[in-house]
Amino acid sequence: MKKGLILILLTVSLLNPKAGNAQFDEDQLGAWYMYFFNADFNDSQFGVQGDIQYRNWDIASDLEQLLLRGGLTYRPTNANIKFTLGYGNITTGAFGSDNATTAESRIYQEALFPVKFGNRFYTSHRFRYEQRFVENQDFRTRYRYNLFLNVALNKPGMEQNTLYLALYNELFVNGQRDIGDGNSVEYFDRNRFYAALGYMIKKELKVQVGVMRQTTDNWGKNQLQLSLHHNIITSNSKS
């Protein structure tokens, strides 16, 4: 178990690059308010998942993004993995007093599988491939890998009334550099490192409060995150 934990922490640290120069105030704390849900269709291998995220460059008023995302999930028999085919609609706002927005439609496929170490350490690996249709840009693709780690603090496992430490690190890589009209992006898109405290209200519902550090080649910024995670229980479904 110790070797596995060391490997996880080493991976997180290696995937957290330093920020470069910003085009805006890097010292201004932003805020993301998020709701995540998932549900299985009774005893079926199929289900749904999604999230609603309201992201601000500051705490409350300067829109960074409004993200609406949902997908159909599938769990193979006798395999501890979940596949998702989904769609996202994203409205991105400009920093500061400029009220201009950019629209994006996004199709994505992902695989999520958990790995548990001992009684207190819960990890998940998520691989996501995105096809992006961004306003005034050519068709784009992006690859994402996220390593999640939850550590139960006051109880031996993740159960009702558990206080836990939540960490993740997500790396984004663009599928191509040319985005049209002579513009280009780097293959490295961004990295997000997150640390939070979570509380499991009950088996199907938990809340987290933390800070995420997002970095690109040009800027780095801290974002307060408040998130609600809801496992919707349907009739005769297995949680």
Instruction: Report the alpha-carbon distance of residue 78 to residue 80 in Å, rounded.
Output: 7
E strands of 81-139, at which residues? 82-93, 101-117, 121-134
Burial code (b: 16+ CB inside 10 Å, e: under 16) for 187-218 equals eebbbbbbbbebebeeeeebebebebbbbbee
pLDDT tens digit string along 56-67?
Answer: 999 988 999 999
Q: Identify which has the larger pLDDT, 27 or 190.
A: 190
Model confidence at 129: pLDDT above 50:
yes
Instruction: Please give the pLDDT value at position 234.
Output: 75
Residues 28-37, mean pLDDT to the nearest whole number? 96
pLDDT tens digit string along 147-184?
Answer: 999 999 999 999 999 999 999 999 999 999 999 999 99
Q: Identify which has the larger pLDDT, 24 or 19.
A: 24
Residues 25-41, mean pLDDT to the nearest whole number? 93
Banded model confidence at residue 4, pLDDT cuts 50, 70, 90:
low
Tokens encoding 175: 């599928």
Tokens encoding 76: 């193979």
pLDDT tens digit string along 84-109?
Answer: 999 999 999 998 888 899 999 999 99
Q: Identify which has the larger pLDDT, 42 or 190.
A: 190
Instruction: Please give the pLDDT value at position 96.
Output: 85
2-232: CATH topology = Porin (2.40.160)
- The model's pTM is 0.86
